[in-house]
Amino acid sequence: MIHESSKKILVIEDDAVTRNVFLEVLEAQGFNSIGAENGLAGIQQAQEHLPDLVICDIQMPDMDGYSVLTTLRQHPDTGIIPFIFLTGSNTQADLRKGMELGADDYLTKPSTIEDLLRAIAVRFEKQALLKHWYTNNAHQLSLPLASSTNSESIFPSIPQLQSVFDYIEDNYHQGITLSDVAVAVGYSPAYLTNRVAKQTGETVNGWIVKRRMAAARPLLKNTNKTIEQIAIAVGYQNTCHFSRQFRQHHGISPKIWRKQQEIFESSKNGKLQLIKNRGSLEKLVSLGR
DSSP string across 129-190: HHHHHHHHHTT----TTHHHHTTS--S---GGGHHHHHHHHHHGGGT--HHHHHHHHT--HH
Q: What is the mean pLDDT of residues 102-124?
A: 83
* pLDDT of 77 strictly over 70: yes
| 97 pLDDT above the threshold of 60 | yes
Q: Which of 42-56, 140-154, 178-192 has the lowest mean pLDDT?
A: 140-154
47 three-state secondary structure: helix
pLDDT at 21: 92
What Rg, from alpha-carbon coordinates, does the chain have?
Answer: 27
* φ, ψ of residue 208 in degrees (nearest 5): -60, -45
Give 224-258 as a DSSP string.
---HHHHHHHTT-S-HHHHHHHHHHHHSS-HHHHH
Residues 30-53: b if buried by 16+ CB within 10 A, e if exposed = ebbbbbbebbbebbebbeeeebbb
State the chain's mean pLDDT as an integer.
81
Torsion of CA 9, 13, 19, 25, to 10 degrees: -30
Residues 158 and 199 sit within 8 Å (Cβ to Cβ): yes
Residue 17 confidence (pLDDT): 92
| pTM of this structure | 0.51
Residue 133: CB atoms within 10 A of its CB come to 17
Residue 35 pairs with which residues in a beta bridge? 11
Q: Amino acid letter at 19?
A: R
At 232-275, the pLDDT tens digits run: 999 998 899 999 999 988 889 999 999 888 887 777 655 555 55
Nearest to 39 by CA among 81, 74, 18, 10: 10
**pLDDT confidence of residue 81:** 84
Q: How far apart are CA 222 and CA 262, in angstroms?
A: 10
| Residue 268 CB partners (closer than 8 Å, separation 6+) | none
- Write down all domains in the chain, each with its CATH number in brackets: 8-134 (3.40.50.2300), 146-256 (1.10.10.60)
Q: From CA 76, how far away is CA 232, in angstroms rounded?
A: 38
Tell me the C-alpha distance between 14 and 188, whole Å: 29
Q: Peptide bond before 254: cis, by omega within 30 degrees of 0?
A: no
Residue 98: enclosing H or E segment and its boundaries? helix 92-101
User: What's the length of the chain?
Assistant: 289
DSSP reduced 3-state for 35:
strand
**How many beta carbons lie within 10 A of that of residue 159, not counting itself?**
10
DSSP 8-state class, residue 74: T
* pLDDT per position as a tens digit, 181-227: 888 888 777 788 888 988 888 889 999 999 999 999 999 999 999 99
